[in-house]
Structure 1
C-alpha cells in the first residue's frame, strides 16, 4: 500500500487558524499596520519574495517606479540607519534601517542617499581610498522618523531596470521575511498559473541527471488545471513529483513566483513549500529545490515537490518521507497540487495514479560513491578533490576522467564529474602541473574549458583553488596585465567642458583586483558602473584651472599591473 504517516499534531500546527482560501501558510504572526510602503506610489512589483532566480531565491519585493529614477524613498517607520553599502554589482547603493520592534528594513538600487548619509559615505570612501563601502552605524548617528526621505530611487548595481528592492529582515537572525506578511500587500486577484508537472522515478537512488523523469503539459484557467492529455498515470515504486508554476498580481504583467505549494495524496498533505522566510546562507539551496539538471540543460524551472536529504532551508515547513511517495498497492490514488499566492488565490491540478506492485532494484555505482553528509575525498597522482559535508544535496555517483593538455595549458584537462550536479558552496580542487612552473608559479590559476577562471595559488606542488561547480578544469598562466581604454581623455587635452573622465577597463583571465585614480598624485573617487562597465571620475569643483596630471593604475588578481597617464587642462 501507499506508505505515508501524518500526525494530528502536525495537521494542527499547519492549519491552526488558517483560512484555506485567504490566509497564507506561515509559522508565526507578524506585526500588521506597523510599516508603511517605502514609496508614495500605488504599490506595484516587478519581483516577488522567494521568486526563483539563478543560484538564489529573491530576497525581497521589487517595487516599480514607473520605469524611471528619482522618487523619494521613505523610512517605513522610526529607527536608525544601521548599515550603508556601496558596491559594484548587487544592490549598488543600499541602506539598512533598524527598527525598535526587532526588524530591519533594506532599500536597494538607490540613486543617492540623504545628505547626512552621503557625507558619511564620502568620508569613508576617501578615508579608505575605495569606491566600494560597507560599514555599520551607531543608533545615535543617523536616527530617522517614519515617512522621512532617506534616499532617492534609482537603478544602481545589478538591476534590470529602475525600481526599489525592499526587504524586511529579522534583526537578530538576519533572516529575510516576506514583506507581504506584514500587511504590505499588492493588489492581487489573479491565481497562479500551472504549465507542467514532473514525475521522477527515484526508486531508492540518489537524485541526479540520470533519474528517469517525464514532464507532462498542463492546461486550464481561473485556478482549475488538468493534464493536457487526460489519463491515468501508472506508477510504481518510489516516486517524486514536481511542478512548473508562476504567479501574477493585479498591478503588473510580470510573471513572478508563487507563495506556497502543497502536494496531497488521497487528501493528506505529504509535502509543503512556502516562501515565508529564509537565511542568506541557505539561498543557494534553490539548486536543490529546482530540477537543477533540467534547468542547466534546458532552462526549465521545474520545482521539485520532494526534498533532497542534504538540503537545509526553512522553506519546507512540513513533509512526510521528504515528499517521496511509494506506490506499491495495486490501488487507484489521487495526487493533488494546491498552489497559492500570498493573497490566497489558489490553483489546483489533480492526477489519477494507478499503483502497482514494486520490487526495488539494487543500486549500481559506476564511479565513486560520495555521501552528502560526510567528507568526501578523491585523488590521483595529478589531482585531488575534497568536498566537505554540507556541499552536496544528495549522495553522488562521482565520475572522473582526464583528457590531453590544451595548447595553452600547463596540465591535462581534469573532468570533475559534470556541471549537472550543483555544489552548495565550494570544494577544494588541487591540480598538479605537468612541468615545473618556475618563475611563473605565482601566476598560475585553474580555469575551466568554457573560460571561467577559478583563481588559485601554487603550494606543495599543486595549484589549489576553491571551486563552486563541477566541470572540466586545467592550469593556465596569467601574465597579461589588465587593459585600460581611455574614452575621452588623451595627453594634453583640454577637459574644461568635460563633466567626467571615462575609461573601460578589463582583464583577460584572473579578473580586476583593484583600481586607483589620482590627479596631481592625490587620490580621487572613481565609480565603476555595473551596467555600462565604464569607470569614471566626475569633476566636482575641486580641480583648479590649469594643467594637471591624471594617473590610473589597475591590477588583476595575479598582480599584473597597468598604468595610464595623461596631462590635461582644466
Structure 2
C-alpha cells in the first residue's frame, strides 16, 4: 500500500469516526471493535434506533434480510454467550454476547441457533419441561470469536416480517445504545424530512389534550425547509413547539426515525433530544416525548420540543425552561430547528415568531376532578372502587375524572367504572380494585377485570374486590372466565400415519384470560412444543425420541384462570 493510499484510508476512517460520533454527550465509543452481524451488502435498515413505536422507542436497529430467513448471523466481536432466550412473543429466539470492551450485543427474531447452542437450549427445555427459557450460561461455556456464526436470521416472536433485530448495550447498566455510534456503517447521504411545525399555547399550564395548538405547513427538500407563509408566527405567553420528521438512508430503506432534534431561539439552543442511548424502564416515556393526545386521535407522531416535568428520559440536553419560551418584547425572533440522522446528515427549518398580545389564545382549564400530582403517589376510593397511581406513573399533574355506569355490561359481575380517558398517558400501570357483586359466589378464582373493549387486565380476588393493574386508563368491570382454551389440529388426527412428516402442528387460542401453559406428551413422556404468539401456531418437531411405530399423544393447554383443554390421539410414525 502506498503512502498516498494509506493516507486516504486514514482519512476515510476519520470521516467515519466524525460522523459516527455525531452525538450530544461526552461519551466516546469504540469505532473499529465490531463487525456487522450480517454479510448482506449493502446493509439496509427496516427500523432505526430510537424510532417511534407504539408505547416504546425501538431499542436497536432492524437489518433487512431480503424478505427471507436463514442468513448466517455472526458474532460482532470476541466474547461469550451470556444469555439464551426463547419466548412465545418478544424477540422469539435471541442471543446475548458479552464482549471484553464493556458492551453486550443482542440478536433477536432468530430462526434457529448455531448447532452447539441449539443442542444446549433444547436439553435445558427438556430438563425444565418448558418451551420458554431465559438462561444465563457461565462465561466459559460458549466462547465466541469475531465472525463466528452464532445463529440464523428469522421471523420469530413479535416480528412483523423476516429481519434481524440487533442491539448494543452497556454491559454494566444494560442501557441500550445506538449501534451506528460504533462504526457500524449504513450507507446514508440523505437528510431527514421535516413535514410540519406545531405551535402549543402552554401558558404555564400542564400539557394535556386541552392544550391549544396550531399547525404550520412546511415546504422544502434536501435539508432546507421553511414555512409556507413567510410572515412571523404571532405568539403570546408561554409557548412550546413540536415537529413531525422522519429519515431514510440509501438503498432499500424504510421510513425510519431521526437521531436528534435541536431547537434554537435567536441562535441559542433551548432544546435538544438525541437518540444516543436509553434505559428500558423509560422506553414507555415515548408517550411523554410525543404529543400523545394527537397520536391517539390521529396517529400523528408529533415530537414535542418541551419536556414534561414527570418525563424520566435522559435523552435531553441544552434545555432552557424545559423548552418552554415566553417572549414579551414584541420583537421578531429567529427560530431554527436542526434535525440530524445518525450519519450526520442535517435538515434545517428556519422561521420567525413575534410576541403579540392581541393573539392571546387561552389554555382551557382542566375539567373538575380529583387532583393528581406527578411527583407523588395518588389514590382515591369510591363506592365499590379503589384506584392507586404509584409515584412515577404520571408525566404531568392532572384532574382525574371517573364515572360509575349503572348499567352493567353483558356478563358483568360489577358495575362499569370509567377511569379517566385514553388521552392521558401513564408511565407504569395503576392499581385498580373493583368490588364484585354477590352473584360472583364461588367463582372468585375465575374472576378477571376486563376493559369494555374486551381486553383482559388479569385479576386476583382480595377481600371481596378483584385487583388488577391496567396499563392505561379506560372503562373496566369484573367478569369471569370459565371457558377452556381451544385446540385445532392442522396436520394430525387419530390413527394418522405421520411418517415422512417433520412435525405436528396446531392452532391454540383462549377467549379471555390468555394461555398460561401448553404441554405435550408422547407415550406419556413430555415433549417440546414450540409456540408462535403472532400466528397462534403450536408445533412439535419429531426427533430421535420418537421411533417408528404406534404412539399415543396428549396435548394439555391451560389458561390463566385454571381452565384446561386436553387433546388425545394415537398416531403412527
Q: TM-score, normalised by structure 2?
A: 0.94
Alignment partner of 1:240 is 2:240: yes
| Pairing 1:278-357 to 2, within 5 Å after superposition | 278-357=278-357
Match of 1:386 among 360, 371, 388: 388
Q: Quick one: distance in 2 between partners of 1:97 and 1:115? A: 16
1:541 partnered with 2:544: yes
Aligned to 1:472: 475
Report the CA distance shift for 1:491/1:532 in structure 2 as closer, same or farther (over 3 A): same
Structure 2: tracts of 5 or more residues without a match: 1-16
Question: Matched residues in 2 for 1:435 and 1:226: separation?
Answer: 64
Q: Which residue of 2 aligns with 1:90?
A: 90
Alignment of 1:203-242 (within 5 A): 203-242=203-242
CA shift at 1:61, angstroms?
1.3
Deviation of 1:253 after TM superposition, in Å, equals: 3.3
Counterpart in the other structure of 1:435: 438
Aligned to 2:485: 482
Return the alpha-carbon distance in structure 2 between the equivalents of residues 119 and 362 of structure 1: 63
Post-superposition offset of 1:514: 0.6
The answer on 1:366 being equivalent to 2:368 is yes
After superposition, residues 46-125 of structure 1 pair within 5 angstroms as 46-125=46-125
Tell me, yes or no, if structure 1 residue 414 matches structure 2 residue 413. no
> Which secondary structure does the structure 2 equivalent of 1:369 belong to?
strand
Tell me, in whole angstroms, the C-alpha distance in 1 between the residues paired with 2:101 and 2:448: 48
Contact map agreement 2:212 2:361 (CA 8 A) in 1:
no
CA change 1:564–1:361 in 2 (3 A) is closer
Alignment: residue pair count: 553
Q: CA deviation at 1:310?
A: 0.4
Q: Does 1:527 align with 2:534?
A: no
In 2 relative to 1, CA 388–134 (structure 1 residues): closer, same or farther, beyond 3 Å? same
C-alpha deviations, 1:429-479, integer Å up to 9, x for none? 001123242111111110001111001011111110111100010111111
Residue 27 (str. 1) matches residue 15 (str. 2): no
2:172 is matched with: 172
Q: CA 1:244–1:361 in 2, change beyond 3 Å: closer, same or farther?
A: closer
Structure 2 distance, partners of 1:391, 1:69, is: 40
Partner-residue secondary structure (3-state), 1:281? helix
Q: Does 1:262 align with 2:265?
A: no
Summarize the Cα distance change of 1:364–1:485 in structure 2 as closer, same or farther, 3 Å threshold.
Answer: closer
Q: Find the partner of 1:452 among 452, 455, 465.
A: 455
Distance 1:351 1:37 in 2: 41
Q: Give the superposition deviation at 1:309.
A: 0.5
How many Å separate the matches in 1 of 2:55 and 2:361? Answer: 37
Q: Which runs of 5+ in 1 are unaligned?
A: 1-17
Asked if 2 retains the 8 angstrom alpha-carbon contact of 1:82 and 1:97, the reply is yes
Q: Deviations over 1:390-430 (max 9, x none)?
A: 01011011111121211211111101000111111111000
Find the aligned partners of 1:318 and 1:343 in 2 and give their Cα distance: 21
Shift of residue 217, structure 1, vs aligned partner: 2.2
Q: Which 10-residue stretch deviates more, 427-436 or 449-458?
A: 427-436
How far apart, in 1, do the equivalents of 2:379 and 2:189 lie?
Answer: 52
Q: Look up the SS of the partner of 1:327 in the other structure.
A: coil
Counterparts of 2:319 and 2:136 in 1: how far apart (Å)? 40
1:174-230 Cα distance to aligned partner (Å, 9 max, x none): 011111111112111100000111111111221111111122221210111112344
Rounded Cα–Cα distance in structure 2 between residues aligned with 1:303 and 1:187:
26
The separation in 1 between residues aligned to 2:18 and 2:179, in whole angstroms, is 20
Distance 2:513 2:389 in 1: 24
- Tell me, in whole angstroms, the C-alpha distance in 2 between the residues paired with 1:408 and 1:347: 55
What secondary structure is seen at the aligned counterpart in 2 of 1:240? strand
Q: Which residue does the alignment assign to 1:402?
A: 404
Distance in 2, Cα, partners of 1:60 & 1:188? 18
Aligned residues of 1:21 and 1:345 also touching (Cα < 8 A): no
Matched, 1:126 2:126: yes
Question: For 1:172 and 1:364, how far apart are their aligned partners in 2?
Answer: 43
Alpha-carbon deviation of 1:251? 2.5
The answer as to whether partners of 1:21 and 1:346 remain within 8 angstroms in 2 is no
Q: Tell me which of 561, 564, 567 is aligned to 2:564.
A: 561
Q: Which secondary structure state, in structure 2, belongs to the residue aligned with residue 284 of structure 1?
A: helix
> Is the 2:20–2:183 Cα contact (8 Å) retained in structure 1?
no
Does the CA contact (< 8 Å) of 1:71 and 1:153 recur in 2? Answer: yes
- TM-score, normalised on structure 1? 0.94
